[in-house]
Structure 1
Amino acid sequence: MQTGWVTTAGREGSTGLRYGWTTGACATAATTAAYTALLTGDFPDPVTVDLPNGKHPSFALATELIEDGAASAGIVKDAGDDPDVTHGALVSARVTHGAAGTGVTFRAGAGVGTVTKPGLPLPVGEPAINPMPRQFIREHVEAVAARHGGTGDLVVEISVQNGEELARRTWNPRLGILGGLSILGTTGVVVPYSCSSWIDSIRRGIDVARAAGHRHVAGCTGSTSERVVSELHGLPEDALLDMGDFAGAVLKYLRRHPVPRLTIAGGIGKLAKLADGHLDLHSARSQVSPDALATMVRDAGGSLELVEGVRGANTALDALQQCQAVGLPLGDLVATGARDTALGVLRGAPVEVDVVVIDRSGTVVGRA
């Protein structure tokens, strides 16, 4: 079965792409169905939940089970048109009555991680079910209890099928969330290509680094730049931020939550875009400007022939190679421009910035 919904706001207005639902929304719906069955013997199918901003999606149940003193329900996550790692995952809730006065107690089932490092919005030892999904679940447990004469004292165990394997494709191991995925979501809605979970992971990565007392972190565009920075500075894994294309997310969060030193590392193409003032480095949202590179070369005293060669370059790497052939340090110029952009975003926050530019092989071709 696939999830469905009754809301008519199923598509994002500017793109026509289909919204999806977070793991937190799915866990809330599964808990609502399971608790209803625990109290009444019947599963609501589909089960409707109330989310912020007037959304009331309904979810078809993929699994249901009543056993002695427990009820379980599962929902297949539909992430809409977003390339979400958990799209199609089975999110399940198993509920049992809790001791009087204990309210809702959360447990991590198979495929849901446990927090092992400080700095996250949950204490060490807690299931990785984030605060907003916990709030959604508590509110729906209270509503079900009010409708069907329950106490609202409930043990809720959330599971995600194959969650431990899926978590290896996320930030969780680096953040110290071990054993599986996090149950996420602030509104319950997945906006296609908003990359909100990646940006949230960047923020949590900074929080964990700060809590660990690290005074130097690195924002890296990929695994090669991460390896280079590790070799240059010997930084531990939890000081390495998998920045990807989201330089702006790193810089804006560090502006509010500073760390004394930041290294930005990446390929010359992405960092040329940062030098040109772009904070989102994805190829669909920003492009390398040959004119900007040509201006750098001109201002550095490059010959007219070189300036025009760079202006006509196919890629930033092509421009770099032209400059290397005549001894002009385009990599250093790009690094300096990227650093200037970063300092502008930081707006005087107490963060020392250095930039490392690499080529595709991982060779350092520029620093500032």
Structure 2
Amino acid sequence: MTDGKPAGPLRYGWTTGACAAAAAKAAYAALLTGEFPDPVRITLPRGEMPAFALAAHELRPGEASAAIVKDAGDDPDVTHGALVRATVRPGAPGSGVTFRAGEGVGTVTKAGLPLPVGEPAINPGPRGMIAAALAEVAQATGAGGDVEVTVSIPNGEAIARKTLNGRLGIVGGLSILGTTGIVVPFSCSAWIHSIHRGIDVARAAGLDHIAGATGAASEAAVARLFGLEEAALIDMGDFVGGMLKYIRVHPVARVTVAGGFAKITKLAQGLLDLHSRAGAVDFRWLAERVHELGGDGGTVHAVSQANTAIEALEIAARAGLALPQLVARRAHDTAAAVLRDSGVALDIAVFDRDGRLLASAGGAPAAFSSQLPI
């Protein structure tokens, strides 16, 4: 196993949306016929037809419920192993399919998400999958298809604390996600989805300046630097490319990319995924930048042989070279190329581990200059 990823071919899994659709189909079939199909098969949006074993089921007067244990495959998904339950009841004639949030499923409280405020956090993709699965049952039995569906995930509220739901204004539990129904291992689709929704929420709140940070320390530092409220802070992590590409299509007036020296060095090298799996800090590249700044041969060599980015930074600092500033400018070049023709103003902010600003590029020189080391 390398970087948390199992060796060999990776096993795909199923989204919470696919699990909810299968559970709802089994429950609706039992409500109409008295029998639970087990396993229950559904058709996903791209035509795949997986079968799901039921972990629990119950038929009561006027309602039925079925539950499926989510299998996320080899993806490190926080909802792997969660029990996804759907309870169905007859709906009012002509009402179609209506959705309710049960235990552990959140409710939308902020504008900007793909659902209105007050709605259960069952995303449009899963709603479509659930509705299609119920329609199959209705067609086979001659039923009208008016159904109330309550989706619940026991312990979902606790699991949700490990996600970005709170920042997005989803309270009380998890979101039911998945556009394809399939979890691609290590695609980090849930994280990127949260980045996009965070931008949507900030735009809907009328914020004109947002900041994406690589980690908690740089996020706290950039928030202090600009006085940004929580809704303006995007938990970008390593996915600077995913954030910037979305902003190019869904622009804000200004975005700041904030991070430590090592992560911003990777961006300066041209990487848009800053995780170690995508590439490492290139010390030969840093040595070339030291040479560009006028460093002598010994300093250039020492940087090329450094063990860490921080060691390279310290070597350059002892030689009186403004390496962080050059790295910030090169990182700005990489990020600006992604935002081309968008009209979005761009800042790069490089912080040390204590949250002190080491260097900046673009944006607001007055705000930056007051915090740069003399």
Match for residue 145 of structure 1?
Answer: 138
Q: Which amino acid aligns with 1:76?
A: V
Q: Which amino acid aligns with 2:293?
A: A
Aligned: 1:332 with 2:332 = no
* SS in structure 2 of the partner of residue 275 of structure 1: helix
Q: Deviations over 1:208-227 (max 9, x none)?
A: 11110001000100111111
Task: Kindly state the Cα deviation for residue 52 of structure 1 after the two structures are TM-superposed.
Answer: 2.9
Of residues 215, 218, 229, the one that matches 1:222 is: 215
Of residues 283, 288, 291, the one that matches 1:290 is: 283
Match for residue 366 of structure 2?
Answer: none
Match for residue 280 of structure 1?
Answer: 273
- Indicate conservation of the 8 Å contact 1:65/1:72, yes or no: yes
Of residues 94, 103, 116, the one that matches 1:110 is: 103
Structure 2 regions of 5+ residues with no counterpart?
A: 1-6, 362-374
Q: What CA distance in whole angstroms lies between the structure 2 residues aligned with 1:327 and 1:95?
A: 69
Bigger shift: residues 59-68 or 300-309:
300-309
Aligned: 1:27 with 2:46 = no
- Indicate conservation of the 8 Å contact 2:45/2:129, yes or no: no
> TM-score normalised to the size of structure 1?
0.94
- Indicate conservation of the 8 Å contact 2:20/2:84, yes or no: yes
Q: Deviations over 1:349-368 (max 9, x none)?
A: 11111111122333322222
- Indicate conservation of the 8 Å contact 1:317/1:359, yes or no: no
Aligned: 1:37 with 2:30 = yes
> TM-score normalised to the size of structure 2?
0.93
Q: Which amino acid aligns with 2:344?
A: V
Q: What CA distance in whole angstroms lies between the structure 2 residues aligned with 1:294 and 1:80?
A: 42
Of residues 239, 244, 258, the one that matches 2:232 is: 239
Q: What CA distance in whole angstroms lies between the structure 1 residues aligned with 2:243 and 2:280?
A: 20
* SS in structure 1 of the partner of residue 157 of structure 2: helix
Task: Kindly state the Cα deviation for residue 348 of structure 1 after the two structures are TM-superposed.
Answer: 2.6
Match for residue 92 of structure 1?
Answer: 85
- Indicate conservation of the 8 Å contact 1:63/1:74, yes or no: yes
Q: What CA distance in whole angstroms lies between the structure 2 residues aligned with 1:216 and 1:346?
A: 15
Q: What CA distance in whole angstroms lies between the structure 2 residues aligned with 1:301 and 1:214?
A: 42
Match for residue 160 of structure 2?
Answer: 167
Q: What CA distance in whole angstroms lies between the structure 1 residues aligned with 2:45 and 2:341?
A: 36
Q: What CA distance in whole angstroms lies between the structure 2 residues aligned with 1:211 and 1:54?
A: 34
The 4+ residue runs of structure 1 with deviation greater than 3 A are none
Aligned: 1:184 with 2:177 = yes
Aligned: 1:316 with 2:309 = yes
Match for residue 365 of structure 2?
Answer: none
Q: What CA distance in whole angstroms lies between the structure 1 residues aligned with 2:296 and 2:317?
A: 13
Q: What CA distance in whole angstroms lies between the structure 1 residues aligned with 2:106 and 2:22?
A: 20
Q: Deviations over 1:126-182 (max 9, x none)?
A: 111011110111111111011123210000000011111111111111111111110
Task: Kindly state the Cα deviation for residue 314 of structure 1 after the two structures are TM-superposed.
Answer: 0.8
Structure 1 regions of 5+ residues with no counterpart?
A: 1-13
Q: Which amino acid aligns with 1:120?
A: L
* SS in structure 2 of the partner of residue 181 of structure 1: coil
Q: Which amino acid aligns with 1:282?
A: H
Q: Which amino acid aligns with 2:349?
A: V
- Indicate conservation of the 8 Å contact 1:20/1:189, yes or no: yes
Match for residue 127 of structure 1?
Answer: 120
* SS in structure 2 of the partner of residue 248 of structure 1: helix
Aligned: 1:249 with 2:247 = no
* SS in structure 1 of the partner of residue 193 of structure 2: helix
Q: Deviations over 1:263-319 (max 9, x none)?
A: 111111111000000000110111111111111111111222111111111111110
Task: Kindly state the Cα deviation for residue 329 of structure 1 after the two structures are TM-superposed.
Answer: 1.6
Identity across the alignment (%) = 60
Task: Kindly state the Cα deviation for residue 192 of structure 1 after the two structures are TM-superposed.
Answer: 0.3
Task: Kindly state the Cα deviation for residue 31 of structure 1 after the two structures are TM-superposed.
Answer: 0.1
Matches within 5 A, 1:346-361: 346-361=339-354
- Indicate conservation of the 8 Å contact 1:113/1:181, yes or no: yes
Bigger shift: residues 72-81 or 318-327:
318-327
Of residues 42, 54, 64, the one that matches 1:49 is: 42
Let me know the Cα RMSD of the aligned residues.
1.2
* SS in structure 1 of the partner of residue 306 of structure 2: coil
- Indicate conservation of the 8 Å contact 2:210/2:232, yes or no: yes
* SS in structure 1 of the partner of residue 144 of structure 2: coil
Task: Kindly state the Cα deviation for residue 55 of structure 1 after the two structures are TM-superposed.
Answer: 1.3
Q: What CA distance in whole angstroms lies between the structure 2 residues aligned with 1:197 and 1:70?
A: 32
Q: Would the alpha carbon gap of residues 46 and 285 (structure 1) be closer, same or farther in structure 2, given more than 3 Å must change? A: same
Task: Kindly state the Cα deviation for residue 15 of structure 1 after the two structures are TM-superposed.
Answer: 5.5
Q: Which amino acid aligns with 2:40?
A: V
